């Protein structure tokens, strides 16, 4: 049994806390809201983020970060990308020993262009970091709580740390593979949200499966082009955290990114969409970051660029699709192989 704290009581943090508690670990879930921590402890529900789910009674919650940190040998970071830096800064006020950190968030910080593990290393004192392991893959919270078969990867350069996280989470419905390509796994998880937003847009515009298949495969090509330039292994993008997560996010009504894109395609403004979602849509900020990364690394990312114009430059979504289709003719493998 391990003592594990999950930071962030949204849909993913809560689902993973359930997995950990069911696996027999002493799991504490931190919410930054006192009323939500009380609801989890007293009603055993998290109505906003996992409606109609009865949480395990052994799962405890706190809103006091110092207590959450004091509890743990392992800390799982499950706050949205925009909250990672601030949560690490608050943790630094209370951390007093080395910990194994796991992060499960899928984003890139605009402007700094840092991946999550890089933000964590910037904010947390190296003396307190045993290792940082990324847990990522095709895994909607709504299906994990129903114990539907799910596969993910635990990635860390140090294989022993990845294997420790594999052992923490793995059970009969949650299968964890190890991987040592941290850049590839983080970039796949973040960039698939951009493509899923675009897939939602084409569905919202009324296009069909051909357009969806085009976005998934050409999306994978531009994700791989950028990731490889940043140091990722090309094959990682063909795995769970690349193609696997693209499929699940681009084709599922559970995906917040797909749903947000769908509303955009139907004509709503970005602000109207975000107001209606009430949950994190990571792909919006990551589209900005991807646009900046494409410039920095001189990589062609037509889908991310078209989406950037729709989100931030008032480009009409239908015209955006037209522009993508009328790009100069190309070799299918351009930019992937010499």
Burial 81-95 (b: 16+ CB within 10 A, else e): bebbbebbebbeeeb
- As measured in angstroms, the least distance from the Cβ of 12 to ligand 13P is 7
**308 known member of a binding site:** no
Q: How far apart are CA 335 and CA 155, in angstroms?
A: 26
Q: 145 by DSSP, 3-state: which? A: coil
Q: How far apart are CA 119 and CA 139, in angstroms?
A: 23
CA distances from 53 to 40, 47, 166, 213 (A): 11, 8, 25, 33
- As measured in angstroms, the least distance from the Cβ of 84 to ligand NDP is 8
In eight-state DSSP terms, residue 28 is: E
Q: Which does 257 bind (CB under 5 to 8 A by kind): ligand 13P, ligand NDP, none?
A: ligand 13P
Q: How far apart are CA 146 and CA 255, in angstroms?
A: 16
83, 188, 227, 265: which one binds ligand NDP (CB under 6 A): 83
CB 138 within 8 A of CB 174: no
Nearer to ligand 13P, 255 or 287 (CB): 255
Q: Which does 8 bind (CB under 5 to 8 A by kind): ligand 13P, ligand NDP, none?
A: ligand NDP
Nearer to ligand NDP, 81 or 202 (CB): 81
Q: Which does 87 bind (CB under 5 to 8 A by kind): ligand 13P, ligand NDP, none?
A: ligand NDP
Nearer to ligand NDP, 140 or 320 (CB): 140
Cα dihedral value 240, 128, 87, 164, nearest 10: 30
Q: Is 139 in the site for ligand NDP (CB under 6 A)?
A: yes
Q: Which does 104 bind (CB under 5 to 8 A by kind): ligand NDP, ligand 13P, none?
A: ligand NDP
What kind and span of H or E run contains 3?
strand 3-7
**Closest to 217 in 3D by CA, of 137, 335, 332, 138:** 332
Q: How far apart are CA 322 and CA 141, in angstroms?
A: 34
Q: How far apart are CA 2 and CA 314, in angstroms?
A: 50
Q: How far apart are CA 218 and CA 291, in angstroms?
A: 16
- As measured in angstroms, the least distance from the Cβ of 308 to ligand NDP is 19
Q: Is 232 in the site for ligand NDP (CB under 6 A)?
A: no
Is 90 considered catalytic here? no
Q: Is 107 in the site for ligand NDP (CB under 6 A)?
A: yes
Per DSSP (E only), the strands in 52-143 are 60-62, 74-77, 99-103, 129-136
Out of 192, 296, 323, 330, the active site residue is 192
Nearer to ligand 13P, 159 or 170 (CB): 170
- As measured in angstroms, the least distance from the Cβ of 53 to ligand 13P is 16
User: Among 18-26, 135-143, 208-216, 311-319, which window interacts with ligand 13P (CB under 6 A)?
Assistant: 135-143
Nearer to ligand NDP, 140 or 212 (CB): 140
25, 103, 106, 225: which one binds ligand 13P (CB under 6 A): 106
**245 known member of a binding site:** yes
Please give the annotated binding residues for NADPH, written as ranges. 11-12, 32-33, 49, 106, 141, 256, 280, 282
In the complex, which residues of this chain contact ligand 13P (CB under 6 A)? Answer: 106, 138-140, 193, 196, 245, 248-249, 255-257, 282
């Amino acid at each position: 049994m391990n003592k594990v704290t999950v930071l962030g009581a949204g849909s993913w943090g809560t689902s993973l806390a359930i997995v950990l508690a069911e696996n027999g670990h002493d799991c504490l879930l931190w919410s930054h809201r006192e009323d939500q921590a009380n609801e989890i402890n007293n009603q055993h529900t998290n109505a906003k983020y996992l409606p109609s789910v009865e949480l395990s009674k052994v799962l405890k919650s706190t809103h006091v970060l110092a207590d959450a940190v004091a509890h743990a040998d392992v800390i799982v970071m499950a706050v949205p990308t925009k909250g990672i830096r601030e949560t690490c800064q608050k943790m630094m006020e209370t951390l007093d020993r080395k910990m194994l950190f796991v992060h499960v968030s899928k984003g890139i910080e605009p402007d700094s262009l840092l991946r999550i593990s890089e933000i964590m290393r910037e904010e947390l004192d190296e003396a307190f970091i045993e290792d940082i392991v990324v847990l990522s893959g095709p895994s909607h919270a709504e299906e994990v709580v129903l114990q539907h078969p799910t596969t993910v990867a635990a990635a860390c350069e140090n294989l022993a740390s990845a294997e420790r996280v594999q052992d923490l989470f793995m059970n009969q419905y949650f299968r964890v593979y190890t991987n040592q390509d941290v850049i590839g796994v983080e970039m796949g998880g973040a960039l698939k949200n951009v493509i899923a937003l675009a897939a939602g847009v084409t569905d919202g515009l009324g296009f069909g499966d051909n357009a969806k298949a085009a976005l998934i495969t050409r999306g994978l090509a531009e994700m791989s082009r950028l990731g490889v330039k940043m140091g990722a292994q090309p094959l990682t993008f063909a795995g769970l955290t690349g193609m696997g997560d693209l499929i699940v996010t681009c084709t599922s009504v559970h995906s917040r990114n797909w749903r947000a894109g769908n509303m955009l395609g139907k004509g709503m403004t970005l602000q109207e969409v975000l107001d209606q979602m009430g949950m994190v849509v990571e792909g919006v900020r990551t589209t900005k970051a991807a646009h900046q990364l494409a410039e920095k690394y001189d990589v062609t990312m037509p889908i991310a660029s078209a989406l950037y114009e729709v989100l931030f430059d008032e480009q009409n979504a239908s015209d955006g699709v037209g522009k993508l289709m009328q790009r100069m003719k190309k070799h299918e493998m351009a930019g992937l192989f010499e």
